[in-house]
A and B are shown apart, each in its own frame.
Chain A
Amino acid sequence: MSDPIERPPAPWDYAPAPESREIVRLQDRYGLFIGGAFVEPKSGRFFATIDPSTEEPLAEVAEAGGEDVTRAVESAREAADAWQGLSGTERAKYLYRIARRLQERSREFAVLESMNGGKPIKESRDIDLPLAAAHFFYYAGWADKLGYAFGGRTPRPLGVAGQIIPWNFPILMAAWKLAPALAAGNTAVLKPAETTPLTALLLGQVLQEAELPPGVVNIITGDGETGAALVDAAVDKIAFTGSTEVGKAIRRATAGSGKRLTLELGGKAANIVFEDAPLDQTVEGVVNGIFFNQGHVCCAGSRLLVQEPVFEVLLDKLKARLDTLRMGDPLDKNTDVGAINSKVQLDRIEALVASGVQEGAELYQPSCVLPERGFWFRPTLFTGVSQSHRIAREEIFGPVLSILTFRTPQEAVAKANNTPYGLSAGIWTEKGSRILWMAQQMRAGVVWANTFNRFDPASPFGGYKESGFGREGGVQGLAPYLALDQEAS
């Protein structure tokens, strides 16, 4: 060869591979799902819900006012006795039915989830929907086995659960909330997030198809005021997933009320890489840890702590990997990073990233082309980050990774735990004893070793410290929905 340097040939561009939207039949308007039927809101108000990747409106959704919230809670209350009165096996069968219908309609749900929330179809199709169905399956099996769950204690349902869920995993969070509540014999009022109401409303149809008794689940759409009204309503239990700020407000609002409360709040997880880590898989875990669902993940590994000897090599690998991420149409089957969920969230991410630059951290972004309309933010790495920077302390809830270094395991532990949050942590090392020691030291509710962002209905999830309290998933996830009377020993 005469030319000593070989240049890359023209790129291999993957042709667009959009999942069809045909499977989704949207209504122009959606009412509230109360008492087993979709009803007009007494508030008389509706709001538009959009596709964040195009800013195009998708439908109008009812905004539940105070009266509507009351009506939904009353509906749940009226249904409670009969629902509790059913045998566990009967309740289980309803939950199995819901799980099955969710599986059968999963493509439709996945497409709608990506349309309304901006997440890549490959995630909604391969993760959100299968997990949502799995949660109903898992807890269906508990409904007639509650007596075996907590030895020496007699379980009783609490009554009516008010459940407020976030916009990052709309249908999955609905499943996380409803499945254990219903299995435990409670009835529920579910309040989906303002920006992502559509799959929850579609779930209302599934509940009808499953012939779930009217009132056992009520779904009310609206904004933060609707949520606040639900917190104040005559419910026995509040389960909330969302920001720490709102979680604290709910804690204050329920002070002294005797309402049972579980909170699944924010995080600022450390993902810790030791020099002996399997680096190529670590890169995948780091990418999955922070860019999964555009970083709209409370347990995202948003602080990367790298042991100094492998800092350079890991950074090079990460940058190269970032360049391969495909950003764009959430419904394209090859999209890795979708749209930011809302303008509000985009503004917040942009402000925090600006603060990172201003505070002197070094920014890296791949040069991918962004669509003209919709809400987008490039996958972003920050190096030269110190613990005191805002981007190392505040939850960004976006595709932004802050990279810090450490020298010793003790330093890694100190830095990892040096946050008011405590939801999750990641550990990457080949040394078994170090994994177990690190896992022990982490003040976090979920520790992923040599993996990240894995979820399962059998696996309890929830935080330490300001990341909240209570667990969702597993046998431990039943406890927040039960009163447990001590039996005499």
Chain B
Amino acid sequence: MSDRLPVRRTAKLFIAGMFPRSESGRSYEVLADDGRPLAYVAQASRKDLREAVVVARAAQPAWAGMTAYNRGQVLYRVAELMEGRRSQFESELADAGAADPARGVSAAIDRWVWYAGWADKIGQVSGSSNPVAGPYFNFTIPEPTGVVGIVAPPDQSLLGLVSRLAPAIVSGNTAVVLVSETAPLPAVSLGEVLATSDVPGGVVNLLTGRTAELLPWLAGHMDVNAIDVTGVPDDLRVEVETLAAGNVKRVHRAPHADLFDDAAQSPAEITALMEFKTVWHPVGA
């Protein structure tokens, strides 16, 4: 057996539910924490990012238009599928140097479960009917903001990613994610999970590549409504937030918390990427 040549993995981008190579034809080598070569992954270009945004925008109305109950089930199924492939995720986390890969995978799966359940509750918890002083029925509902750019935390390559992605899409947003540059393989595997799940193509788009190269294009993109900058390195923060002003992007950074802690999950992470819409109507016979 030992002389068998292993079949190597070619890690590609995840856009529109498919796995294209970068249009630039570039790839880069990913090393394990101990320096072993692990794989070559696609190195996305700004054009790949542009394509991902187009795809995410196109997918958004239908995803938001699903019933919340249905979206919740779809995301719960992601957890189910991850559970079935946990050994792969564990080994990828181990390669990335995780201290306790099994715990990381469990926490990531549980995070999907936690957020999936919010799909049909966030509107009840954060919406309201408002007792205005006049003959009007007035209510406020949270709605997805649209297309969300996410910079996944570079460490915690799986739990960090899920902790940003799940609250973004559970409300009906679609996402374009810059995954961990140095440890992208768990994200690539998550893309494969998503592709076989019921999450519609285009709802989640995962880009591997050089964060510093892609980030300005994401932050400055005029058709991205919000950007989760939790994974943005400090030295890029000013540039990203400055570029985000171009179309008044919502800029969200999650509070510092131990990702394994319950306090790292919050409905505030969902509403941070939502809009509140208030509707008035007269009450009269």
Question: Which A residues fall within an 8 A CB radius of B?
Answer: 134, 150-153, 244, 247-249, 251-252, 254-256, 263, 265, 420, 435, 439, 442-451, 454, 456, 458-462, 464-469, 471, 474-476, 484-489
26 A-B residue pairs with CB within 8 Å: A151-B125, A152-B266, A153-B266, A244-B248, A251-B241, A251-B248, A255-B242, A256-B237, A256-B242, A263-B248, A439-B277, A445-B275, A445-B278, A446-B277, A447-B277, A447-B280, A454-B136, A454-B280, A460-B276, A460-B278, A467-B248, A474-B130, A476-B276, A486-B264, A487-B263, A488-B263
Counting CB contacts under 8 A, is B163 at the interface? no
Q: Which one of A254, A446, A464, A488 contacts B280 once the chains associate, using CB atoms below 8 Å?
A: A446
Report B-chain residues with C-beta under 8 Å of the C-beta of A247: 248
Task: Tell me if A256 and B238 are in contact (CB < 8 A).
Answer: yes
Counting CB contacts under 8 A, is B84 at the interface? no
Task: Tell me if B132 and A456 are in contact (CB < 8 A).
Answer: yes
Counting CB contacts under 8 A, is B37 at the interface? no
Counting CB contacts under 8 A, is B145 at the interface? yes
Most central of A151, A248, A486 by chain B CB within 10 Å: A486
Least CB distance, B57 to chain A, in whole angstroms: 12
Are A469 and B248 CB-contacts (below 8 A) given A451-B282, A458-B130?
yes
- B222-253 at interface with A (beta carbon < 8 Å): 225, 237-242, 244-248, 250
Task: Tell me if B138 and A459 are in contact (CB < 8 A).
Answer: yes
Least CB distance, B24 to chain A, in whole angstroms: 29
Most central of A134, A248, A487 by chain B CB within 10 Å: A248
Per-residue A-contact encoding for B141-160, CB less than 8 Å = 1, 0 else: 00001100000000000000
Least CB distance, B84 to chain A, in whole angstroms: 27
Task: Tell me if A255 and B237 are in contact (CB < 8 A).
Answer: yes
Who on chain B is nearest to A435 by CB?
A: B281
Question: Which B residues fall within an 8 A CB radius of A?
Answer: 125-126, 128, 130-134, 136, 138, 140, 145-146, 225, 237-242, 244-248, 250, 255, 257, 261-268, 275-282
Report A-chain residues with C-beta under 8 Å of the C-beta of B267: 152
Who on chain A is nearest to B222 by CB?
A: A420
Report A-chain residues with C-beta under 8 Å of the C-beta of B242: 251-252, 255-256
Closest 8 CB pairs of A and B: A255-B241, A256-B238, A251-B245, A456-B132, A255-B242, A486-B266, A458-B130, A256-B237
Task: Tell me if A447 and B278 are in contact (CB < 8 A).
Answer: yes
Least CB distance, A297 to chain B, in whole angstroms: 15
Task: Tell me if A451 and B281 are in contact (CB < 8 A).
Answer: yes
Task: Tell me if A255 and B245 are in contact (CB < 8 A).
Answer: yes
Q: Which one of B225, B262, B275, B277 contacts A489 once the chains associate, using CB atoms below 8 Å?
A: B262
Task: Tell me if B134 and A456 are in contact (CB < 8 A).
Answer: yes
Report A-chain residues with C-beta under 8 Å of the C-beta of B131: 458
Least CB distance, A438 to chain B, in whole angstroms: 10
Report B-chain residues with C-beta under 8 Å of the C-beta of A489: 262
Task: Tell me if A251 and B244 are in contact (CB < 8 A).
Answer: yes
Who on chain A is nearest to B247 by CB?
A: A466
Least CB distance, A348 to chain B, in whole angstroms: 21
Task: Tell me if B130 and A460 are in contact (CB < 8 A).
Answer: yes
Who on chain A is nearest to B235 by CB?
A: A256
Task: Tell me if B279 and A449 are in contact (CB < 8 A).
Answer: yes
Report B-chain residues with C-beta under 8 Å of the C-beta of A450: 281-282
Most central of A263, A435, A461, A476 by chain B CB within 10 Å: A476
Least CB distance, B126 to chain A, in whole angstroms: 8
Task: Tell me if B128 and A475 are in contact (CB < 8 A).
Answer: yes
